[in-house]
Chains A and B, each alone.
Chain A
């Protein structure tokens, strides 16, 4: 999931809860979007669990390419 879709996923999840709340959907539709909601919730949780604290320095090499070097602070 890219940075854009994390926010997108959260928004969709909020939408789903709202729709379930409204009670306007049939049981079939409700079950379908509920499943979608659980999947989104799981994916978002995974993203939040990343906890590796990485710091790198950007170096431009002579050939114009970039290199990242790990640093510790």
Chain B
């Protein structure tokens, strides 16, 4: 699936949900379905720390595509991390770099990507795009 197709799928899931409480229940479920990161990557080396919730991110480059695994110590963050991974993992560096990820805004969770210190998500997105640039350069 393309980035846009995955994003649309997520947007559709959230469109069915009006109440913010149900929205967060959905995010929690997504967090539970995030494939676990290999424990050897849950170290300081792979941390993208925000002020409050930690995010670990590992990336690999195989056959022209970038694959991500990730985790977070906060469940809501884990849920959004799960969405970002499902959208960006298995895509080409070019696709990742140019993704605008406005689906987060469209599902009403813009505050979670705001550039405050309160979470590592904004930094995570930046890091994912950086990985894409580096992998592309290295070839």
A binds B: no
Residues of chain A whose beta carbon lies under 8 Å from any beta carbon of chain B: none
